[in-house]
Structure formats: structure tokens, C-alpha cells
Amino acid sequence: MAKKYLVYLAQSYPNFRKAELESLAVLNNIKVDLSSHDESSPFMIVELENDDEAFRWIDRSILSRGIYELWGHGANLEELHKNVQETSKQYWDEYMGTSFKFDIISYQGGKRSRKQQIELFETFSYLAFKGAIKMKSPDQTFTILEKYHVIDRKPVEIADYMWFGREVNLSARSKGALDKYLIPQRPYYGTTTFDSELALITCNLSLCGPGKFMYDPFTGTGAFLYAGAFFGSSVFGSDIDVRPLRGKNKDKTIKKNFEYYKTSTLFCDAVCMDFTNNAFRQDFLIDSIVCDPPYGVREGLKVCGTKREDRFETKKDLIIEGEKAYLRRDFVQPKKPYELDSLLDDLLKFSAEKLPVGGRLSFWMPTANDDFVPTIIPQHEDLELVYSLVQDFNKWARRLLVYVKRDDSYKGITLTKEQRTVANNFRDRYFTGFSPKTCQNKDSKEGESFSQ
């Protein structure tokens, strides 16, 4: 018989929360109804089979804080006590002799004094637990959760709603994942290093985990690699620019960061490579492809090749010190300009070839808010777009697009840059300036999710 649980959610990126929870449910093979999720509220009641499911589901979440076996709820303390006594008596005997403590979480509420907290805890004396009270490492933690509203920047005195439950598990966020991965604490990072919180969220949506292989084709200083390794994936990266891969000096490298995080055993390598001309075996499969493609703002996008193939052909057989020039270790591969739309098409084609069925591609795509229409999102017939999530920067935004590789029975569409009605000319718009959000397509919804 299913039990009710209360999920305490973070208020960071609320339009990403449901997607992360759905992805973690897929990863753990858990069926859960999230229709009660409300982006404006940090509390959500769900039904799960048992504590094991609840524990595994929330354990690595970044956008949740904890999950509690729900014993009761009400609009005020009186209603809360009545509901606890009416609905949760079947749970009491199991915890009668365990060590325990009481805790309180007040969302937007003011702080109670220690005396006030004890007075509130003592109102639950009818539970009559006989075990020892332990403030550190108790067997069980019983938590009162309250929600307040704020008037003139001050919380009201009486809670709008209250819940009471037994703590089942705290999330990776509550256990310090964000503090551990703060960018300034790393030995090595750059001015464009990707946000650590969003990197962890992206890897959750990509189903990174133990026994899986994750690849970032635009590694830079390695933000996604560290996040993938945090969740247990073996990670590999590449970049067409060797400079960030080499690091600043021997103590400021990607390898040193893995040593700092104690995940070196999961770091396969990071090599200088153009993924459109990659060195992977044809039959090599990658479980998760996670990246933030270059937008071409600092410099135009480039891939291996040349605009003047005729000139390259004449130099192909050039001999230096008895060796063909292009086979020498000091050979510098020529590069040619590239469009963001072409790069995204190549990324989807590469992912369709390299992902196993159920594998995921997740990448971030920039767009000008006043020029956005859904048709600029690339599509591939073998990949189903399951999430399109918006991070808004007012004049421009970026979308996290998450695709799943489907089996042969899936009939999708391929929508290349030639077929999309609007080009993603983000670099041009960035330098010429954005106009106000007057033309944003009304069908484009923040945090839009697609069928799983």
C-alpha cells in the first residue's frame, strides 16, 4: 500500500524542479505522480511505495531539500494535531523505543527562541516516545514544517500551513553538494566556467550514475565532468581549444580538480579534439552527452577544416625533416568558421549515433528573448525532446534541451537548420543589442516539459 510523503523543495530554479524529480524517478525506476507540483510552493505531497523508494529518489537531488513520511498536516497547530492523531497512529509503535529528536523548518517564517521551540515540541507529547532524546545522530528525526507569507518584507506571526513528518532522507543539496562544488574553491577554473549548481542539475537530468559513461565535447575547464563524476559516472571530455585542457600551470589543471574532489578514478581523460571529426570507435556507445556549446561570443565558432580546400590540398604532401607535415607532433590543424545552427545539427547527429536506447543528450542553447520561436529548436528523428527549460536573463535567455534516444519503434522528425524557420543568430544579436521582449512567442512556456 502506497504511503504519503512530503517533499521539501528548494526555491532555486523552480521551473527545473519537476524535470529533475521526473528524471530521478526514471533513473531509480520509481513511479510517482508529480501533478501536485506548484512552482510557487516549496512543499509537495506525493505517494510512494515505501521508504526505500523515497530515500533513493531524493538522495542525489539538487533542487530538493528533503523528504518526510507524512504523519499529518493542517491550517493551524490544532488542525495539525488532530490530523496526526487521526491518520498516523499505525506508525507510532515502530519508533517507540528508538532515539529521536524534533526539528522545525519555517519557510519564510521568523526564528523562534529555543524556549518557544521546546514549547511547540512538547505539544506532541501524546506520541509518548520512550527512546532517548539525541540531538546528534538520532535514529529518527521528527520535523514540523511551516509555511508563512510575508507582508512588507516581514513574515506574519501565524503560519499559513503546517506539516508534521518523519525525516526519511535529506538531498545532496542539504548534505553540502553546492558548497563542495563552489567554483572559487577549485584549484582551477576560468572566467567562463559553467555554474556548478546548474552543472549538477544538468547531470541529474542526463541520468549520470555509476557504471555509466559521460562525455562533454566542449569541456573547457571541466565543469560538467566534475558534476558527472560526483554522481558516479566515468567521464571523458574534449575541446578543440587545447589551452583550457592544459590548465594554467601544473597545480591548476583539470586533473588537479579531480584530485581535489577525490574522483580521479572516474576521470578517463580530456583531449584536444573536434567532435565533428572525432577519434571514437564507430561502435563505442556513450550513456550521457552533456555540454554547453560555445555561443561564439568571445570568438567565432570553429571546427577543423579550411575555407580554402584547394590550398590545403597543395600542402598535404609537404615534407618537413623527412616526415609529412600533418603527421608531425607540432602540426597545427587548420580551422574554419562554423555556425551555431550547424554545430547543433552535428551534435544531434553525433548523439543519435553514439547514445544507447534510453541514453540522454543535454545541452544549453542561447537565444534572444525578442526573437524566440519554438521552431529554432533542432530535432532528430531518433531523439525525443523531453525537456525544454528556460533560464531567463531578461534581454536574452538560454534553454536546457534534454533528448532521449528511442528505439526503432519511435517515429520522430529531423528538423535541420535549413528546415527551421528562424536562424539562431545569437552572436550577431549579442553584439548589435537586444530589443525589449515584444515578440516572444506566446506558446513558448518557461520550464516546458514534454511527455516522458
**pLDDT class of 445 with cuts at 50, 70, 90:** very low
**pLDDT class of 342 with cuts at 50, 70, 90:** confident
Residue type, 49: E
- Rounded to an integer, what distance in angstroms lies between the CA atom of residue 239 and that of residue 172? 29
Which is more confidently placed, 283 or 153? 283
**Per-residue model confidence (pLDDT) at position 106:** 95
Assess whether pLDDT exceeds 60 at residue 4: yes
Bridging pattern class, strands 234-239 and 448-449: unpaired
Which is more confidently placed, 346 or 393? 346
**Per-residue model confidence (pLDDT) at position 375:** 45
**Per-residue model confidence (pLDDT) at position 392:** 84
Residue type, 407: D
**pLDDT class of 21 with cuts at 50, 70, 90:** very high
**Per-residue model confidence (pLDDT) at position 154:** 87
User: 83: closest CA among 9, 139, 168, 4?
Assistant: 4
Q: How many CB atoms lie within 10 A of CB 52?
A: 13
User: 236: closest CA among 217, 252, 262?
Assistant: 217
**Per-residue model confidence (pLDDT) at position 374:** 47
3-class secondary-structure state, position 416: coil
User: 260: closest CA among 285, 218, 229?
Assistant: 229
**Per-residue model confidence (pLDDT) at position 319:** 79
The answer for residues whose C-beta is within 8 angstroms of residue 297's C-beta and 6 or more apart is: 426, 427, 430, 431
Mean pLDDT along residues 191-217: 97
Taking each helix axis from N to C end, the angle separating 254-261 and 223-230, rounded to the nearest 10 degrees, works out to 30
- Residues 123-163 have pLDDT tens digits of 999 999 999 999 999 999 999 999 999 888 888 888 999 99
Bridging pattern class, strands 43-48 and 154-155: unpaired
- Rounded to an integer, what distance in angstroms lies between the CA atom of residue 346 and that of residue 339? 11
3-class secondary-structure state, position 32: coil
**Per-residue model confidence (pLDDT) at position 310:** 60
- Residues 368-408 have pLDDT tens digits of 665 544 447 889 999 999 999 999 877 778 899 999 999 99
**Per-residue model confidence (pLDDT) at position 442:** 37
When the pLDDT of each residue in the chain is averaged and rounded to a whole number, the result is 87
What is the enclosing helix (H) or strand (E) of 448?
Answer: strand 448-449
**Per-residue model confidence (pLDDT) at position 446:** 40
**Per-residue model confidence (pLDDT) at position 231:** 98
**Per-residue model confidence (pLDDT) at position 406:** 95
**Per-residue model confidence (pLDDT) at position 326:** 63
DSSP 11-78: SSSHHHHHHHHHHHHHHTT-----TT--TT-SEEEEEES-HHHHHHHHHT-SSEEEEEEEEEEESSHH
Helices (H), 28-123: 51-59, 77-87, 89-92, 114-122
- Residues 162-188 have pLDDT tens digits of 999 999 999 999 999 999 999 999 999
**pLDDT class of 420 with cuts at 50, 70, 90:** low
The answer for residues whose C-beta is within 8 angstroms of residue 242's C-beta and 6 or more apart is: 272
What backbone phi and psi angles, to 5 degrees, belong to 12?
A: -90, 130
User: 17: closest CA among 276, 352, 345, 387?
Assistant: 387
**pLDDT class of 86 with cuts at 50, 70, 90:** very high
Assess whether pLDDT exceeds 50 at residue 452: no
Which is more confidently placed, 393 or 273? 273
228, 214 contact by CB (below 8 A): yes
pTM for the model stands at 0.87
- Residues 288-336 have pLDDT tens digits of 999 999 875 445 566 666 666 665 555 566 777 778 766 776 666 666 6
**pLDDT class of 23 with cuts at 50, 70, 90:** very high
- Rounded to an integer, what distance in angstroms lies between the CA atom of residue 157 and that of residue 150? 10
CA distances (Å), origin 220, targets 84, 191, 223, 398, 437: 53, 11, 8, 18, 31
The DSSP bridge partners found for residue 290 are 362
**Per-residue model confidence (pLDDT) at position 447:** 45
Which is more confidently placed, 23 or 399? 23
Mean pLDDT along residues 86-95: 95
CA distances (Å), origin 96, targets 30, 58, 167: 30, 26, 16
**Per-residue model confidence (pLDDT) at position 438:** 40
- Rounded to an integer, what distance in angstroms lies between the CA atom of residue 42 and that of residue 67? 12
